[in-house]
A and B are shown apart, each in its own frame.
Chain A
Amino acid sequence: MELQLHIWRQAGPDKKGDFEEHYLDDLDEHMSVPEMMDHLNKKIIKSGGDPVAFESDCREGICGQCGFVINGHVHSPEKSTTTCQTHLRSFKNRQTLYLEPFRADSFPVKKDLVIDRSAFDRIVQAGGYIGVNTGQASEANTTLINHELAEDAFDSAACIGCGACVATCKNASAMLFTSAKINHLSMLPQGKPEASKRLENMVTQMDSEGFGSCTYTGACEVVCPQDISLKNITELNRKWLWEKIL
């Protein structure tokens, strides 16, 4: 299989970047995108060049380390799929691919396709937890949580922190990420005591990181590899309204 690649190269955060062209004519359609990048980098290194910096770790769609924009698709042209889980069979032979980093002011480019997503950690640090110390917990079955609620909490908790939602949003909003964490914790009985403080602190931190505001276009939900639902944002807005205005 053959592909024409245009890959974003940028030496550092405040350097100017541009696309670099590579033509690969010995690919296998079952290769994953990072495997294609390994293959390309080997060629670049052997010919004395500077390999493309890109990140991946688990290569099975769960760690949230990977991700770039492929022909305008955040992560992948496939639905609910990370970059590492995208295989070349998703593209046509001889197709031209543009590979770019996730772009958002709050996710500065470190090098080539590598970005800094530490803003997400700081949002969690601001309140994305239940304040229980080791040893304080009571017997697990003393609090009953019905099946549907546990499933709903899981749906919100499944976020892998990849940042695709931000990268695809025209406002670069982090609402899907933030609301999913707030909802996961606040819908469970254990998370209720801190719900109000959590909401306030996480949203404040999100704003101070420079993420844009949400205009509810729903683009985030479409690219989310874990299918985190837009309902999380609706629910967050409802809570916010209740707390702050009513």
Chain B
Amino acid sequence: MLDAKIPAGELKDKWQNYKANAKLINPANRRNYKIIVIGTGLSGASSAASLAELGFQVEVFTFHDSARRAHSVAAQGGVNAAKDYKNDSDSVWRMFYDTLKGGDFRSREANVYRLAECSMSLIDQAVAQGVPFAREYSGYLSNRSFGGVQVSRTFYARGQTGQQLLLGAYQSLMRQSAGKNLKLNTRHEMLDIITLNGEAKGVVVRNMDTGSISTHHCDALIIASGGYGKIYYLSTLAMNCNATAIWRAHRNGAFMASPSWTQFHPTSLPQLGSYQSKLTLMSESLRNDGRIWVPKSADEKRSPNEIPDEDRDYYLERRYPAFGNLAPRDISSRAAKERIDKGFGVGPMKNAVYLDFKDAIERDGKKTIQERYGNLFEMYRKITGLNAYEEPMMIAPAAHFSMGGLWVDYRLMTNLKGLFSLGESNFSDHGANRLGANSLLQACVDGYFISPSTVMDYLAEIKPMEKDEIHAWEKAAKRTKEKVGQRIDRLLAIKGNTTAEEFHKELGQMLYANCGLARNQKDMEFALGSLYSIQERFYKELLIPGDAAAINFELEKAIRVEDYLEMAILIVKDALQREESCGAHFREEHQTEDGEALRNDDDFRYVSAWEYKGDNRYELHKEHLSFDHVELKERSYK
């Protein structure tokens, strides 16, 4: 059984106790330790900068051409913190409870509590960096609500909160990179981990401009590579988001936790055609003022504005009167799918629902709505050519956030010693469903506040690499580097007739249809068979033009798709194994009479952590979750 190494003590004291007992390294000795960070999103940039500030030697790799382009930049809606500025009875406890419940009681109490506890310092930190959060006329910070909660604890910078937070972290990173402690390498992709005596001790990276492959040593390795929702091809993620870093860590022994738990965001733009490469998100904050509906009749022919209220089905308000349009994401997405599947969908492909601002504009005026969501309406216009001030938006669920990821303990260290995982790349705080505005927070808290303490605590237990270990390390590094070279050569040599993107699209469709918003055994068994055969075809039919010695985007894609194909098989196996519904994992066999998720706490109150055994074989390890401070309840938003 897996041990998360949760510190002793009362829930509210655990993190303080941990810090009070964490081992330290004398400031003068810190420069003898080398830390590698993969990724410059919110979690990677903030961790790297904070560790460099402490005096460690930090080297950072990102595949982007600038650290500022990590996909954290795309987060729109906001970041949560239990500041209770609104006097609406918010507290660390309430935020902890909301998050735990939102995650359908499939996350660790101690981690979630720590997230809520550190949320306040994050806002302080961001403000000090110059993040221009929205302000009241009085000059005080402003808040709004997000799905799944009844308080206003979301801080925001118009519709570009992720961008502004990321710029704060990026600027701190650049500040450190001007000094002696931090080296930043852009356009470098991590392709493997170097392990020595069962510990992570370095990485193999490929320079994507020159094709050269190099090895780098470290005493601790931090993976902050973001989410893998792009495995579904059509998603709200950026084109280049991928699972390679975590997948390679997994193949080196790190356990993968609950990989099938992917959140489908309810307010994305629907697919319009087969050429489409991504689904753009419309921030959930829109649900503060927008009302979601479909026509009551499946044969409705009128344009939305001509349909009177009595012919509209405001299905979220109908099914979940207490939370209405602010019901959590998994529930809202599933409710939309239910309507669409029954034929009530709207739009040219009947694959969308309406999000309507008519009432809000009547109530608050167009100007107010414009101030709140102006850039989102503008974005909607750019993509669809439609004016949402005059007619309702059309939205649909889309693959969005990876709750699953590398299994980590309380210190955010994987079971592979010396390997840490932060931000969306780990499985930690969100359980089976993440609440809106909690993941910018988690990425920041992991990076700014947790990893500096826990990584130092770990490093204090080991010594920097000694001279007599160098030889062994070099041998291991050489071996790993050769493996990476062979892998690339193998892919290039296939010379078939199908592009990596074609395989990726096929994979995405397979997952959407059989292991997406709803899953059942029959479909998943079918998907598993199909995935094996896609994988087989991949190695026979892949076509990569050019060679590895220069910029080759097709090679980059092929490497990522190869890992995605392997990971997809584990995703389906994970979803098949879990015979219950929880959060975003909705097994059709396990639902209540009125279609709500039916959890099975007796048999599945654990995190699934999979060990890689080679050739699409995996062994399941369980981390049992104990709930000592809250009562396990059916998650109701009615």
Q: Which residues of A contact B (CB under 8 A)?
A: 12, 28, 30-32, 34-35, 38-39, 42, 44-46, 48-51, 53, 55-65, 78, 80-81, 85, 87, 89, 110-111, 114, 116-118, 120-121, 124-126, 128-141, 143-147, 149-151, 153-154, 157-158, 160-161, 184-185, 188, 190-191
Contacts and interface: CB of A to CB of B under 8 A. Distances in A.
B278 interface: yes
B632 interface: no
B620 to A, nearest CB: 35
Given A28-B275, A124-B174, A147-B139, 14 more contacts: A30-B273, A35-B275, A58-B71, A60-B278, A60-B280, A121-B68, A134-B46, A137-B128, A146-B135, A147-B135, A150-B134, A154-B164, A184-B130, A184-B132
B73 A158 contact: no
Given A62-B74, A147-B136, A140 B83 contact: yes
Given A51-B545, A111-B550, A125-B175, A34 B124 contact: no
Interface stretch (B379-387, B422-430, B472-480, B606-614): B379-387
Contacts of B136: 147
A134 B53 contact: yes
Given A62-B74, A134-B53, A146 B139 contact: yes
Contacts of B379: 60-61, 85
Contact of B382 (A57, A78, A138, A145): A78
A153 B130 contact: yes
B53 A31 contact: no
Contacts of B277: 32, 34-35, 38, 59
B74 A58 contact: yes
A58 to B, nearest CB: 5
Given A34-B277, A42-B499, A62-B73, A134 B174 contact: no
Given A118-B65, A134-B46, A147 B124 contact: no
Contacts of A114: 551
B278 A64 contact: no
B510 interface: no
Interface residues of B, number: 79
B65 A157 contact: no
Contact of A50 (B137, B175, B546): B546
Contacts of A38: 275, 277, 501
Given A34-B277, A150-B135, A138 B130 contact: no
A70 B441 CA distance: 39
A50 B546 CA distance: 7
Contacts of B383: 60, 85, 87
Interface stretch (B95-103, B155-163, B294-302, B525-533): B155-163
B229 interface: no
A62 B166 CA distance: 12
A55 B209 CA distance: 13
Quick one: which of B71, B74, B83, B239 has the most chain A CB within 10 A? Answer: B239
27 contacts: A46-B497, A46-B499, A49-B545, A50-B546, A51-B554, A57-B64, A57-B238, A59-B278, A60-B379, A61-B382, A65-B64, A85-B382, A85-B383, A130-B129, A134-B172, A140-B124, A140-B127, A144-B139, A146-B139, A147-B135, A147-B137, A149-B135, A154-B160, A157-B130, A160-B163, A184-B132, A185-B130
Interface string B159-196: 01001100100111011011000000010000000000
Given A35-B275, A138-B128, A146 B137 contact: yes
Interface string B185-219: 01000000000000000000000010000000000
B421 to A, nearest CB: 19
The listed residue with most A CB atoms (<10 A of its CB), out of B129, B137, B554, is: B129
Contacts, number: 209
Nearest to B545: A45
A46 B497 CA distance: 6
Contacts of A58: 69, 71, 73-74, 238-239
Contacts of A49: 545
A59 B238 contact: yes
A150 B132 contact: yes
Contacts of A145: 135, 139
Contacts of B16: none
Contact of B128 (A111, A124, A130): A130
B221 interface: no
Given A125-B177, A146-B135, A158 B163 contact: yes
A30 B277 CA distance: 12
Given A35-B276, A130-B129, A141 B85 contact: yes
A35 B277 CA distance: 7
Given A140-B123, A184-B132, A31 B69 contact: no
Nearest to A27: B275
Contacts of B239: 56-59
Contacts of B175: 125, 129, 131
Nearest to B133: A150
Interface in B236-276: 238-240, 272-273, 275-276
Interface string B484-518: 00000000000001010110000000000000000
B43 interface: no
